[in-house]
A and B are shown apart, each in its own frame.
Chain A
Amino acid sequence: MIHAAFLIPLFPLVGFAVLAPFGRKLGNPLAGWIATLLVAASFVVTVLVFVALFRIAPAHRSVTEPWFDWISVDRLRVGAGLLVDPLSLTMASFVTGVSALIHLYSIGYMRHDEQFPKFFTYLNLFVFSMLMLVLADNFVLSFLGWEGVGVCSYFLIAFWFDRAEAASAGKKAMIFNRIGDAGFLLGIFLVFERTGSVQYTTVFARLGHVGTPSLVAIALLLFLGAVGKSAQIPLFPWLADAMAGPTPVSALIHAATMVTAGVYLMCRINPVLHLAPDAAHVIAWVGVATAFVGATSACAQDDIKKVLAYSTVSQLGYMFLAAGSGAYVAAIFLMLTHAFYKALLFLGAGSVIHAMDEDQDIKNMGGLAKLMPITGVTFLVGWLSIAGVPPFSGFWSKGDVLQNAWAVTPALWAIGAVTAALTAYYMGREYFLVFQGQRRWVEARPEASHGPEHGESYTARGLHPHDPTWHMSVPLVVLAALAVLGGLVNLPFHPSLVFLERWLSPVVGATLLQHHFSAGAEWLFALVDAALAILGVAVAAALWRKSSDRPALEPRFLSMAWWVDAAEDRLVARTGEALASFTATVVESRVVDGAVNGVASLVRTTGERLRRVQSGYVRSYALGLTAGVVVLLAYLLVRVGS
């Protein structure tokens, strides 16, 4: 059954191949159903392969499925093939599962969009690329998928490209990712140069011959790739802007799957990180710093999706903190649960945005819980999960991360713990502003006062927010169930309950951080985590349940995300622009054009001068001939004479 693994990426590729030429003809909603069913089929195959792999003895749970020689030049041998092991299958299963749900949701969400088939074409291409990234058995094929998800991300962020901010957000995502991709590429080059191979298993087997400085360089270069893709400091501003895309895209690509590719890469190269602890420390610190910056920025956002975007940045920071601490299982665990609750929160936000008629400002919402019970309850579940309130899934996964951070150094734990409380707080703020308190949307709409008939028609649309169609509520409910129960895959109570850790141990077991806390310490950690989460929830409730306007708590410094975006704009973008305009006006017009025009005018003036020689008079030619003969003769005579 493991040999069927090739079907996992094949199904979405077929979907793309069918929808790209025929999507418009298949139309709405058939194109969406085809895409959804193919991704669901891919999920089913993944589960079957998962079960098949589970039946193999743990030591042999790493199966390479070679397809063909892709690139073969001199020493460089790049094959196309799949690496089926617990890590890649864990990723593949939640990628296909969450993707299938979000495809279904999109059928409802995008049903009024004229570009409906195109949307699903891109989504299927994205799922294919993501699966190639995850399942590839070598760095180069992973890079292919890596670039594939990048370009799909661009397509989908800029899906409504007639909106200026969506088009520029797409470009921004692309450019930020290019910076990271350069690091990834250089990392691959260095890997090949040092080990003579790009295949994961071969590379990891040869790491013993590679010096530590090279390993640190490899790890940091690949981490640079991950920083770009997973929106870490300093390359995170693109993720907030990426919210200009359709909400299902934000849920799928910019929360659940693509942005976790960087974390996946770090877990994949765990043997390298194990041998390069300095690089691992850098990763952990960048991760925890990003977690903190993201969480504080999320506290002051007014856009329902931007809160979630900065929250994603922050959660990804946690994952890097875990990966950098050597806690790969915790990183994957958090990635898994985060995929559930963050996709849930985004889809809930999408449903709210639909109900509010495309208004995304949480200050204009409020009191929606009674009107949209399914959305309200599932969003509440998502909030409590991400906040880490026991027994929701976030409590278990975040607890894992923090505990491992403590084992590295308590400072990491402290920042992470503060961030955890902030997480509970900012998501609570969003929940209360959207679903509880005053209904601010009646007064907040100036259009309603245009006239009686205008106001009435608007009222008919705007004043009765309701739960979405079943396409959209089923994914919400399923994801809410997963967000509640996701913690079950790795419960710390008993060695027999840590399924995920045992499942992943063939891949990361050898390099896993070994730490042993006493049972009492573990309970203490759990209590502190729970207390922090409940503290955040309580503070949010106290502050935002009644009031919607507290400028003191939303300083501009935080709503501008620590001015990182502005600073980078000033420092890099403006400088680059100045350099470009300098090149265009000075270098281009003076130096380049000058050289070209100089050569041309040199030739022309020489020609002008020389054309006089060709007078057309026979006698002057004859004179020339004679003069030539005389000169030659004189030369010969002088030579003979001397």
Chain B
Amino acid sequence: MSVHASWYLTLAALLFTIGAVGLLVRRNVLVMFMCIELMLNAANLTFVTFARALNDIGGQVAVFFVLVVAAAEVVVGLGIIVAIFRRKVGATADDAHLLKG
């Protein structure tokens, strides 16, 4: 049996929405970071779904690129997060609002 592609897409949309809303409403930097990962992976799921549905390997290739970018982003992002926490324990994203106009 095979699950219809629309289920995957619905799941991906759901995951993306959770990620986006989480990013908007949460102040914890780590959680916000995880939300970004959630959105990336929602996108990945969409790519894979379409790759299978349309029988096109390009979608799966794109996923690899996304994974590579996500890995790089984790390295940089975690570095920044560690730096923020060093300055102030339990800091939220709103504490890092120094670059305002």
Q: Could you tell me which residues of chain B, from 51 to 100, have a CB within 8 Å of some CB in chain A?
A: 93-94, 96-100
Contact A619 B101 (CB under 8 A): no
Q: Which of A614, A619, A623 contacts B100 (CB 8 A)?
A: A614
Contact A626 B101 (CB under 8 A): no
Contact A626 B93 (CB under 8 A): no
The complex places the Cα of A626 from the Cα of B36 at a distance, in Å, of 13
For residue A610, CB closer than 8 A to chain B, the reply is yes
Q: Which of A611, A614, A615, A623 contacts B24 (CB 8 A)?
A: A623
Contact B24 A622 (CB under 8 A): yes
- What are the residues of chain A within 8 A of B20 when measuring CB–CB? 626
- What are the residues of chain A within 8 A of B100 when measuring CB–CB? 611, 614-617
Q: Which of A612, A616, A626 contacts B98 (CB 8 A)?
A: A616
For residue B40, CB closer than 8 A to chain A, the reply is no
- A614-B93 CB under 8 A given contacts A619-B23, A626-B20, A626-B24: no
The complex places the Cα of A184 from the Cα of B32 at a distance, in Å, of 82
For residue A600, CB closer than 8 A to chain B, the reply is no
Interchain Cβ contacts within 8 Å, total number: 36
The complex places the Cα of A314 from the Cα of B21 at a distance, in Å, of 99
- What are the residues of chain A within 8 A of B93 when measuring CB–CB? 617-619
* Nearest-CB residue, chain A, relative to B25: A619
The complex places the Cα of A626 from the Cα of B100 at a distance, in Å, of 20
* Nearest-CB residue, chain B, relative to A614: B101
Q: Which of A612, A618, A623 contacts B101 (CB 8 A)?
A: A612
The complex places the Cα of A32 from the Cα of B25 at a distance, in Å, of 95
- What are the residues of chain A within 8 A of B25 when measuring CB–CB? 619
Q: Hey, what's the 0/1 contact readout for B15-54 against A, CB within 8 Å counting as 1?
A: 0000010011101000010000000000000000000000
* Residues of A within 8 A of B (CB-CB), count: 13
The complex places the Cα of A612 from the Cα of B32 at a distance, in Å, of 23
Cβ of B38 to closest chain A Cβ, rounded Å: 13
Contacts A/B (CB < 8 Å), 16 sampled: A610-B101, A611-B100, A613-B101, A615-B100, A616-B97, A616-B98, A616-B99, A617-B93, A617-B94, A617-B97, A617-B100, A619-B27, A619-B94, A622-B23, A622-B24, A623-B24
Rank and list the top 10 A-B pairs by shortest CB-CB distance, nearest first. A616-B97, A616-B100, A611-B101, A614-B101, A618-B93, A622-B23, A617-B97, A616-B99, A614-B100, A615-B100
The complex places the Cα of A471 from the Cα of B101 at a distance, in Å, of 82
Q: Hey, what's the 0/1 contact readout for A601-614 against B, CB within 8 Å counting as 1?
A: 00000000011111
Q: Which of B23, B27, B32, B97 contacts A615 (CB 8 A)?
A: B97
The complex places the Cα of A145 from the Cα of B48 at a distance, in Å, of 90
Q: Could you tell me which residues of chain B, from 1 to 26, have a CB within 8 Å of some CB in chain A?
A: 20, 23-25
Cβ of A293 to closest chain B Cβ, rounded Å: 74
- What are the residues of chain B within 8 A of A626 when measuring CB–CB? 20, 24
The complex places the Cα of A578 from the Cα of B14 at a distance, in Å, of 78
- What are the residues of chain B within 8 A of A618 when measuring CB–CB? 32, 93-94, 96-97
- What are the residues of chain B within 8 A of A614 when measuring CB–CB? 99-101
Beyond A611-B101, A617-B94, A626-B24, 9 extra complex contacts between A and B, CB < 8 Å: A614-B101, A615-B97, A616-B96, A616-B98, A616-B99, A617-B100, A619-B23, A622-B23, A626-B20
The complex places the Cα of A505 from the Cα of B32 at a distance, in Å, of 106
- What are the residues of chain B within 8 A of A615 when measuring CB–CB? 97, 100-101
The complex places the Cα of A626 from the Cα of B98 at a distance, in Å, of 22
- What are the residues of chain B within 8 A of A622 when measuring CB–CB? 23-24
The complex places the Cα of A391 from the Cα of B93 at a distance, in Å, of 113
The complex places the Cα of A611 from the Cα of B96 at a distance, in Å, of 17
* Nearest-CB residue, chain A, relative to B100: A616
The complex places the Cα of A622 from the Cα of B23 at a distance, in Å, of 7
- What are the residues of chain A within 8 A of B23 when measuring CB–CB? 619, 622
Q: Hey, what's the 0/1 contact readout for A51-93 against B, CB within 8 Å counting as 1?
A: 0000000000000000000000000000000000000000000
The complex places the Cα of A623 from the Cα of B22 at a distance, in Å, of 11
